[in-house]
Amino acid sequence: MRCSSIVALFFISGAVVQTTHAQSSSAVSQVPRTSSQSPAVSDKAEVDPTQDAPHNFQVNETRDVTASAETQPQSASQWLAELQNIITNANFQVSFVQTIAGKETVPYLWRHGVMEDGSELEQLNLQNGPGRELIRINDVVSVFEPDVQPYSLRSKHINGPIPSALLYHPEQLAEAYEFVAVGRARVAGRSAQQIRIVSRDNTRFGYQLWLDESSGMLLKLNMLDLQGALLEQIQVTAFAISPTPAEYFSRINAASLPAPMALSTAPARAHKWDVTYLPAGMREIKQDTRRLALTGQVVEYKLFSDGLVDVSVYVQPADDALGETLALRNEVSTFLTLTDGKAQVTVVGEIPLQTANAIATSLRPVNN
């Protein structure tokens, strides 16, 4: 068990030599930073209208959503289209908190703006401690975090606590999940529409989503385990929608942001093992070969995703394995390691243990 625990730390901490998944990876620091504030943003003082009022909801453009006897209620897909529209086209500022079972609540500030020239700007700022800030200008995301050299990646979305596929491409989730409009509710003093997100094959956790009736803005998102217990919650505490972008965006000096990192063009090494079972709607996003920094062991790596959930699979020869079998739950993530006579496979992701086991036991050698 002690050896297996060491293996768990290798994978959970992401202790690998190669660059990890976009935006969640940490670039190697040449010049350590002690603050996450972007040097590309002017230090001019700014008053944040959402900070002094925990439920300061300002919506300048609303629509009449009162359903008459003749009006057909909107479907879940129509409500998700409302969310997609406001996230993409509106100027907004949102304060929200993320709470994971057994952990401290974490506050975030999220801004979005569409400039006069059509440029799209976005900011996500972790509000506690030294913080972490991400700034997006069109398809480039710049990351600023303590003690790490700032870096930029090419991406059309910021990778934050709220799944980007849910915000921007909900139609891509239809193969994996069913969306059910439950009805009206009240969240943070606002009238909201509740939507249930249910795994079509019962292999993943479920979600509850509440959208503001007046604007379509996200108000609350719950992740639930298979028994309905709350695993994670995102709760909006304040938001404002305005006709013009936040003054903050006018102070960003795009020329001072780091240039996007070049993507590796090296061909991927052929894998000796393949995963033959995946939950409905889950697809391979990435594969490569990695070397563990602490042991020097080479492992095959695959990343799978259904849009809401990412699952990482690591495979190494059984002769190099440390320990045999390990199954544990780290907050909302499942970690499972299985070993047979030829290979050790490790599955990590926000999925039930039985789903991780089904993926791990589907490992088969590739017939070259």
Per-residue three-class SS string for 219-277: EEEEEECCCCCEEEEEEEEEEEEECCCCHHHHCECHHHCCCECCCCCCCCCCCCEEECC
Position 24 pLDDT exceeds 80:
no
- Identify the structural domains of the chain with CATH numbers, from first to last: 2-13+264-365 (3.30.200.100), 61-65+73-256 (2.50.20.10)
Q: What is the DSSP letter of 280?
A: T
Cα(26)–Cα(147) distance, integer angstroms = 10
Q: How confident is the model at residue 118 (pLDDT cuts 50, 70, 90)?
A: very high
Task: Give pTM, 2 decimals.
Answer: 0.82
Outline where 112-225 has alpha helix (H).
164-168
Q: What is the mean pLDDT of residues 84-93?
A: 97
Segment 295-323, tens digit of pLDDT: 778 899 999 999 999 999 999 988 877 77
